[in-house]
Amino acid sequence: MRNETIAIHAGYEPEATTHAVAVPIYQTAAYAFDSADHGAALFNLETEGFRYSRIANPTSAVLEKRIAQLEGGVGALAVATGQAALHFAFVNVADHGGNIVSVPQLYGTTHTLLSHILPRQGIIGRFAESDRPDAIEKLIDENTRAVFAETIGNPAGNVCDIEALANIAHAHGVPLIVDNTVATPILLKPFDYGADIAVHSLTKFLGGHGTTLGGAIVDSGNFPWAEHADRFPAYNKPDASYHGLVYAERFGKTAYIERARSVYQRTMGSVLSPFNAFLLLQGIETVALRMERHVENARKVAEFLRGDPRVAWVNYTGFPDSPYYPLVQKYLNGSASSLFTFGIKGGMEAGKTFYDALKLITRLVNIGDAKSLACHPASTTHRQMSAEQQRVAGVLPETIRLSIGIEHVSDIIEDIDQALKKACPSAQLEAAE
């Protein structure tokens, strides 16, 4: 099946009892056992079924199957937020200690997780000086547990060379974990290029309406955990917390995602509510259509900005002179992201005036909504970083990040134009030139 069809049908057929066509919301904490033996078999992971909604829930299970199929993976775990998904994704490879080698262009909170929070648990985030594969390779050593990248960086908009990163990671015996939130599996399927694990904030384009937080981890099933037993003992030695289960032996291709569920989801929670799973499924039904309009509108807005004398720079990877343009052709089929940044003449102060003058475009910290959104990363999402870390992550003091929605593009451009008029009266513009 193709994206559009998977997004509407995968993971659910009208269920046997009621024949409900829409996915039912199974608002239940627990599930009845037929007998003591049935309960024991469920707890032993010997039989399929549900036991408690912290571990799995039928509504969330449909969402998991749908996302796994969109990504071309063998399984997925839905969790409460994208951040929870990233946390579980990292600890699930590195809970015996070690380092994660990452590109520097990350969403600010993920940067904080890797640079401040995980190190307190013995997992060190190592940031390469750029997203170039050779910069990543320099940092990999015998304690590395994964290479990590956002397929499209938020807010830098950089497109990572997934295939090259995967080759390097695999040459050193570690998986490539990618955050595919900004691209979505509609624009890019990282497993086709060798990535092993994909993480999503479902809050963004996949959900698509800015109503619902959610996250997911998807397993490609391709990383050979058993071949790297020294580096990944958690997959290859009996797990005392699960009466001696050896994940790689027991689950084979689905070892990673089963361990994420059985170890982390079970003991740490971060559960997605069934109602949120339902809302996210509603959103996913239209994601392919929405992505087309996001991409098309963004191209027109970026062209408008670039042609405007009040604008100092536009960092849009769909321009042929962008260093990432060849990667946009290779990985995104020419569809540059609707998330991009720009700066207006007059620096930080003019940028703030512009931001405050927006009427249609919402000032907030979110991306991937049907609505057009704007954010000033230096004062919000990337505030915890040093000025140098911000620069490397693609954030300048004047940077405005736009997430272009699916409204009529003329209305978006008119709003930007009126805000530019307020921020750059002609006298100020001449002075800046």
Ligand X SMILES: Cc1ncc(COP(=O)(O)O)c(C=O)c1O
Which lies closer to ligand X via its Cβ, residue 345 or residue 401?
401
Nearest distance in Å: CB 152, ligand X: 8
If phi > 0 it is left, if psi is from -120 to 50 it is alpha, else beta; for residue 147 that is beta
Among 82, 98, 283, 405, binds ligand X (CB under 6 A): 82
Q: Which two tokens stand for residue 412?
A: 């978006």
Residues 138-177 that bind ligand X (CB under 6 A): 150, 154
Query: What φ, ψ does residue 197 adopt, rounded to 5°?
Result: -135, 135
Longest dimension (CA), the chain: 81
Scored b (16 or more CB within 10 A) or e, 95-128 reads beebbbbbbbbbbbbbbbbbbeebeeeebbbbbb
Structure tokens at 291: 């992505």
Q: Which of 57, 59, 60, 81 binds ligand X (CB under 6 A)?
A: 81
Single-letter residue type at 270: S
Contact between 137 and ligand X by CB under 6 A: the answer reads: no
Which regions of 17-107 does DSSP assign to beta strands (E)? Answer: 75-79, 98-102
Minimum CB distance to ligand X smaller for 89 or for 328: 89
Of the candidate residues 272, 367, 393, 423, the single one contacting ligand X (CB under 6 A): 367
User: Rule CB under 6 A: is residue 181 a binding residue for ligand X?
Assistant: yes
**Among residue numbers 90 through 119, which ones bind ligand X (CB under 6 A)?**
107, 110
- Torsion-angle region of residue 347: left (phi > 0), alpha (psi -120 to 50) or beta? left
Binding pattern for the stretch 258-297 against ligand X, x by CB under 6 A and - elsewhere: ----------------------------------------
- Is 201 among the residues that bind ligand X (CB under 6 A)? yes
* Closer of 87 and 228 to ligand X (Cβ): 87
Contact status, residue 60 vs residue 27, Cβ threshold 8 Å: no
> Which residues between 209 and 268 bind ligand X (CB under 6 A)?
213, 215
Tell me the closest approach of the beta carbon of residue 43 to ligand X, in angstroms: 30
Q: Residues interacting with ligand X, by CB under 6 A?
A: 81-83, 107, 110, 150, 154, 179, 181-182, 201, 203, 213, 215, 367
